[in-house]
Amino acid sequence: MYRQITDPLAHPALTALLAASPLLVLLVLLGVLRVKAYWAALAGLATAVVTAVAVYGMPAGQAALGAAEGAAFGLFPIVWIVLGAVWINRLQRASGHDAVISRTFARLSDDPRVQAVLIAFCFGAMIESLSGFGTPIAVTSVILVGLGQPPLKAAAIATFANTAPAAFGSVGNPIQALAKVTSYPAAELGAMVGRQSAVIAFLVPFVLLFILDGRRGLRELWPVALAAGAGFGAGQYLCSNHLAYQLTDLVAALVSAGAVILVLRVRRPPHPPDPGPGAGSRAPRLPAQPEPEPAFALAAAAPLVPPPVADVPSAPVPPVDHRREVLRAYFPYALLTLLFSLVSYDGPVARFVDAQDVSFTWPGLHVMSASGRPVAIATFDFGWLGAAGTLLLLTGVVSAWVLRVPARRALRCYGEALRQIRWAALTVSCVLALSYVMNLAGMAVSLGVWLAGAGRLFALLSGLLGWFGVALTGSDTSSNALFGAMQVTAAQHVGISPLLAAATNSTGGVQGKAAAMQNLVIAAGAVGLTGREGDVLRKVIGWSLAVLTVLCVLAWLQSTSVLGWMVP
């Protein structure tokens, strides 16, 4: 039996620094030293285990069991999701329907920047509204590569776009988890989160355009970003405050997509650039050459090559596909949406699926909180039937038949998907093992206690705690369960609104999605860049921290008379 301690050094600041050391080691090795992701994850895990045993006094056997539980969680459901998404993409390429999808988006807009906003931001949010755990990143990143985006840029765009809807996640799960640990009504929490998240989500399309094409992208496509961000923010606010917070991301995504399409009917970009590395220059645009790592990008990139400058003959207009082939191409996503809807919303199917869930205390793991209560993280939830990976597998099986992929070829595609993500699976397992050791040892609690000592400035740092929780666990739901009650207690001690602090934990956490190792692994693995997670991190970490700073200032102003009227 191990009972957590929160300040083993009797010095909150030094304890917090040591508590954060595993994550710091991971981020430095990835983002600065450019070490392979699985080596960085192993180093972070080793740091976590040594700190837990040597500093926190956690028995080595309990630390090992906690790491084993985390590794198991990394394989299921995280790796299970990536495998299913990559397999479906390979099935579409085997049947040639990935090119059909490319052509339909090209007809909607031949600008790859607009396509990226519609797919990663709008369509990704629709998927997030039904299933979290990185599913939108895995699905949208491979679509972007098929449309001709360079794999590294596609991974970065899909990862950062996933921050906008994360506060409400899968059918409001983060809000429900926050309500459970704080005892606040979920509707009140959802309303407060909506009053913060709408502001933050408004900024995301502008960042996406800058990642895609620098200042030129903002200059040429700011109306698209304005429509996407304003539509998403308005949808989030209205739905979370006046309808049902469970539907917030779905409504916001639909409003955002509709707003972008309306803008495109009125104003077209002057000239679509190629999506290659030199997107920020003014040089004549030549046909884009996709990065060589995932060879499958080559097949779908050609139909989307934009027309060069006027003195070069224009590329042929993409042929119009038969409606039957278009329906087949989008069938996997329609079926996936249907399946997620059936298992997410209360009904006979959802109740049957829930009845198959298995939960058990991890064998041999005995950990209590500092107050003497068993910690919830020691319970392993094995919801095998309703898991996103299982639904992706079922979607793949049916889609192989609809797309007319022979059974032998479909099995070969599955084997290729397994080989593609093998290193990603190792990395995710190590990162989740690291996360579990930190949570079980009490390191996460140490960080929260230290931040709570900041007095009324806690309102300025509250979002940072949420960011750290999501960067550590990869899930806003997990971060809320981990730090939600602590935020409320700290807010009561320093004299600010506990409702505001709880909501800020969820809203601040969304930017942690861009730095969460499991999401980086999912993005890199899905587009064939396993081992280059650090490159993805470097593209998004600065923007993640910049938008987090905006949220922290917003939360602080909401704790004062300046914006206090925004708190219910």
Supply the pLDDT for residue 277. 43
269, burial (CB in 10 Å: exposed 0-12, middle 13-18, buried 19+): middle
b (16+ CB within 10 A) / e for 289-304: ebbebbebbeebbebb
Separation of CA 568 from chain center: 28
pLDDT of residue 146: 82
Predicted pLDDT at 400 = 94
Backbone phi, psi, residue 565, to 5°: -65, -15
Torsion of CA 533, 539, 545, 550, to 10 degrees: -140
Helix, strand, coil share of the chain (percent; to 5): 70, 0, 25
The pLDDT of residue 272: 59
Q: Which phi and psi angles does 262 have, rounded to 5°?
A: -65, -40
Question: d(Cα 83, Cα 417) in Å, to the nearest integer?
Answer: 6
In this structure, the chain runs to a length of 568
Report d(CA 491, CA 502) in Å as an integer. Answer: 9
Q: Is 442 left (phi over 0), alpha (psi -120 to 50) or beta?
A: left
pLDDT in tens, the chain (568 residues): 899 998 899 988 899 899 889 888 887 887 678 787 788 889 999 999 999 999 999 999 999 999 999 899 888 877 887 788 778 878 988 998 877 876 776 677 888 899 899 999 988 887 787 666 677 888 889 889 888 889 999 999 999 999 888 888 766 778 877 886 677 888 899 999 999 999 999 999 999 999 998 889 888 899 999 999 999 999 999 988 988 777 788 889 889 989 998 998 887 766 655 544 434 333 333 333 344 333 333 333 333 334 444 443 444 455 678 889 989 988 887 887 788 778 867 788 889 988 988 989 999 999 998 888 888 788 888 888 888 788 889 999 999 999 999 999 999 999 988 887 788 788 778 877 887 898 899 887 887 778 777 777 888 888 988 898 888 777 787 777 667 777 887 888 788 898 999 999 999 988 888 888 878 888 888 888 888 888 899 999 999 999 999 999 999 999 988 888 888 8
DSSP secondary structure string for all residues of 323-335: HHHHHHHHHHHHH
Residue at token pair 């960042």: 207
Q: With contact defined as beta carbons under 8 Å apart, do 136 and 81 qualify?
A: no
Which region, left, alpha or beta, applies to residue 133 given φ > 0 means left and ψ of -120 to 50 means alpha?
A: left
